[in-house]
Amino acid sequence: MESHVGHVRIFDTTLRDGEQAPGCTMTLEEKLEVARQLARLNVDIIEAGFPAASPGDWAAVHEIAREVGSADGPVIAALARANRDDIEKAWTAIQPAAKRRIHTFMSTSDIHLEHQFRKSRAQCLTIIREMVGFARSLCDDVEFSPMDAGRSDPLFLREAVAVAVQAGATTLNIPDTVGYLTPDEYGAMIRDLHEHVPGIEACTISTHCHDDLGVAVANSLAGVRAGARQVECTINGIGERAGNASLEEVVMAIHTRGQFYAVRTQINTQEIARTSRLVSSFIGVPVPPNKAIVGANAFAHESGIHQDGVLKHRQTYEIMSAETVGLDGNALVLGKHSGRHALRSKLHAMGVELDNDEEFQRLFESFKDLCDRKKRVDDRDILALVTGELQHAPEIFKLDHVQYTSGSSLIPTATVRLIGPDGQSHTDSNQGTGPVDAIYQAINRIIRRPNELIEFSINAITEGLDAVAEVTVRIREQGVSSSSDGENIGASTSTAVSLSGRRSAQQIFSGYGVHTDTIMAAAYAYMAALNKMLAARQERIKAEAVVYEVLGVKF
């Protein structure tokens, strides 16, 4: 008997709250790829970015709206502070989408009003009334968030939300901005607004919970139990500080315990694993093995008692199946003798779309190369190759040749040859503390752009000695001055978007490499990160030119 009632909208903010977190930089192409994948995942709303932050952010939102915002696709939302300029920029950026939403916010907690905004409560209500009204004069779908609702005076919060409802907000999003509340408190806050704000029954109440105390998902679900019908969340739970509620956990909790929550979502759960992997490789943040739903161990039964039980009857220790989240990639699929046609049909079956024949050809070559090195090539290997291909790190410098020596009594030494943007080849050598260090130093001698390696991680995609290694690196560009000279506008940064709306210094770039030779995977990952760093400046300049000159939007 179908006992689920009600639909909970999934509002994905990976490209806004997620992307503005330290080091979660994505290029425009990567943001587009994530947006396409979110559409396959069938999220209801994609918050594509914060257009007033920079011309680059505006351009990314505009492009996503154009490409992904079709009539049968998701709603495309853009964030705006409660001022006319931000709201106008959000509105122009989402123009090409068939279904558009302006999301505007204003703090309502005394601590924010006094110390950050220097506004009285009365002024705060005036701003909400005027700016929600202005947004509504442009767009039929307006979301308002009372920022730091979790620490706001409950009676003032009721008042602020009521003003937003009167001014035309259609969704009221209630953020626990600093992740302070317990599930009981968060649920009670939602219930209180539900019961006491006149007119709110015609609107959607939404949750937006941060994970500072590790309860973002529990709080969001408590919000759903109390009547919220939209959950804001991110893939892998990325976001400011400890992150946001993780989409995969919220969705699978509702999927698995649908009768308890008495709601359902429209998410295509089989796309969850792929989406998680894509985001993780783009931002260079590996998913911890014990992460619920998408961690490598989430469906692995290690202890003898558990294995025995699962073999006898799966549900003895499994509350959901790996297949439901798209983790059925262990089947042997292709090998040395598989040709283009077999790879194409496999990609099709996996739901992978490549942009053009050139991308397919590169992927096919990597696949053939892999088959020479590895006997059993399964879905996980193919997904890793695809992820590397979709990384869209522009190849300003191409890694053409790597040679290294290392050993217990040898000084690690590497020689690399790169092809530069001018088509010329550049060769250099260096010694290092190990082969990876020697390669990285030789590359740096050619590229000459100061950077610091801040993270390096290796993961084996499959079991066995011939497993494909995936390496993720994160580098911080050095010698970059503050945003006041315009240098950093448009790139994600370790300090993210400030209240002034501008991004600040210390840009972090990630790179991802896959190869059966771990050292080679490390070399590719470093090249990808360096190329992103080099391309960031070009992209900023291009975005500024398009936004200023072609579209006439001023920053």
Separation CA 75–CA 72 (nearest Å) = 9
175 versus 284: smaller Cβ distance to ligand KIV: 175
* Other CB atoms within 10 A of residue 76 CB: 29
Handedness of CA 182, 285, 386, 384 (dihedral sign): negative
Residue located via tokens 């005076």: 153
164 versus 383: smaller Cβ distance to ligand KIV: 164
Under 8 Å between Cβ of 78 and 102: yes
DSSP code of residue 393: -
Smallest distance from the beta carbon of 244 to ligand KIV, in angstroms?
8
Q: Which does 145 bind (CB under 5 to 8 A by kind): ligand KIV, Zn ion, none?
A: ligand KIV
Separation CA 390–CA 343 (nearest Å) = 16
Q: Which does 105 bind (CB under 5 to 8 A by kind): ligand KIV, Zn ion, none?
A: ligand KIV
- Tell me which residues touch ligand KIV (CB under 6 A): 17, 105, 145, 147, 173, 175, 177, 208, 210
C-alpha separations of 182 from 17, 238, 239, 427, 507 in Å: 21, 20, 19, 58, 34
Smallest distance from the beta carbon of 141 to ligand KIV, in angstroms?
16
- Tell me which residues touch Zn ion (CB under 5 A): 17
211 versus 249: smaller Cβ distance to ligand KIV: 211
145 versus 152: smaller Cβ distance to ligand KIV: 145
Q: Which does 147 bind (CB under 5 to 8 A by kind): Zn ion, ligand KIV, none?
A: ligand KIV
175 versus 237: smaller Cβ distance to ligand KIV: 175
Separation CA 275–CA 285 (nearest Å) = 14
Under 8 Å between Cβ of 174 and 159: no
One-letter amino acid of 308: D
Smallest distance from the beta carbon of 16 to Zn ion, in angstroms?
8
Smallest distance from the beta carbon of 209 to ligand KIV, in angstroms?
8
3-class SS of residue 106:
strand
17 versus 159: smaller Cβ distance to ligand KIV: 17
Smallest distance from the beta carbon of 78 to Zn ion, in angstroms?
15
Smallest distance from the beta carbon of 276 to ligand KIV, in angstroms?
21
Provide DSSP, 3-33: ----B-EEEE-IIIIITTSTT----HHHHHH
Q: Which does 219 bind (CB under 5 to 8 A by kind): Zn ion, ligand KIV, none?
A: none
17 versus 470: smaller Cβ distance to Zn ion: 17
Q: Report which of 372, 368, 381 is spatially closest to residue 467, judged by C-alpha positions.
A: 381
- Tokens matching residue 114: 């006094």
Under 8 Å between Cβ of 492 and 26: yes
Smallest distance from the beta carbon of 177 to ligand KIV, in angstroms?
4
Under 8 Å between Cβ of 76 and 99: yes
Smallest distance from the beta carbon of 40 to Zn ion, in angstroms?
24
17 versus 88: smaller Cβ distance to ligand KIV: 17
Separation CA 321–CA 334 (nearest Å) = 24
- Tokens matching residue 378: 């399964």
Q: In this structure, which long-range contacts are made by residues 286-291, counting pairs with CB atoms below 8 Å and at least 24 apart in sequence?
A: 286/457, 286/459, 286/472, 287/236, 291/236
Provide DSSP, 420-487: -TTS-EEEEEEE-SSHHHHHHHHHHHHH---EEEEEEEEEESSSSTTPPEEEEEEEEE-S---GGGST
C-alpha separations of 302 from 189, 299, 307, 316 in Å: 41, 10, 7, 14
168 versus 179: smaller Cβ distance to Zn ion: 179
Smallest distance from the beta carbon of 209 to Zn ion, in angstroms?
9
Type and span of the H or E element at 515: strand 508-515
Smallest distance from the beta carbon of 210 to ligand KIV, in angstroms?
6
Type and span of the H or E element at 233: strand 230-233
58 versus 367: smaller Cβ distance to ligand KIV: 58
Smallest distance from the beta carbon of 245 to Zn ion, in angstroms?
10
Q: Which residue is nearest to Zn ion (CB)?
A: 17
444 versus 495: smaller Cβ distance to ligand KIV: 495
Smallest distance from the beta carbon of 43 to Zn ion, in angstroms?
17
Separation CA 70–CA 74 (nearest Å) = 7
13 versus 483: smaller Cβ distance to Zn ion: 13
Q: Which does 281 bind (CB under 5 to 8 A by kind): ligand KIV, Zn ion, none?
A: none
